[in-house]
Amino acid sequence: RLHSHDVRYGSGSGQQSVTGVSAADDGNSYWRVRGRTSVVCERGTPVRCGQAIRLTPLGTGRNLHSHHFASPLSGNQEVSAFGEAGEGDYLDDWTVVCSGTYWVRDGEVRFQHASTDVFLSVTGEQYGRPIHGQKEVHGMAASSQNNYWKVMEGIFMQPSEVFKAEQYHAEL
């Protein structure tokens, strides 16, 4: 599970850490899907494959972020959480890579950083203190089995009536 809490990296950017955890009962693994930087995304609007979004952890309000710093354990590209109250910068934008037209609830998805093209990934490197046992999340240049993600639980908004009409009644 993609996870973030207010523990900062001791190297690299010094920004809030983003890790992978297996525990299902930790509120720091809940993320809000938002429109890309400077774009308002209406609640209930389906997310298109290829669309740029921001992911914001509910607990801290900082956005999933990446930049050209080396990640602390693997030396890949660092992924952090950045900004205040959901406001950050263009390095918070991630492109949804999926099959079909829309990101579907039970489908696997990849997130590709819009500025540096790395894929959001998790591998086996584990941290010691103060986040013992949590796995490093980082950006990898190549797609692999380490960068597939799936929604596990959450609040799902139904598509708007306008979208439903557009999707099912395209004929005139």
**96: nearest Cα among 138, 157, 47, 34:** 47
Tell me the residue range of the domain where 35 lies: 2-170
Confidence band, pLDDT 50/70/90 cuts, at residue 157: low
Amino acid in position 165? A
CATH number of the domain encompassing residue 29: 2.80.10.50
Count of structural domains within the chain: 1
Predicted structure pTM score = 0.88
Query: What pLDDT is stored for residue 160 in this prediction?
Result: 61
Which residue blocks in 18-169 are alpha helix, DSSP H?
161-168
Q: Where are any strands of DSSP class E within the chain?
A: 2-8, 16-20, 31-35, 52-57, 63-70, 77-82, 94-97, 110-113, 119-126, 135-140
DSSP state of 109: B
Between 19-23, 86-90, 140-144, 152-156, the lowest mean confidence (pLDDT) is in 152-156
Tell me the pLDDT tens digit for each residue of 114-151.
999 999 999 999 998 888 999 999 999 999 999 999 99
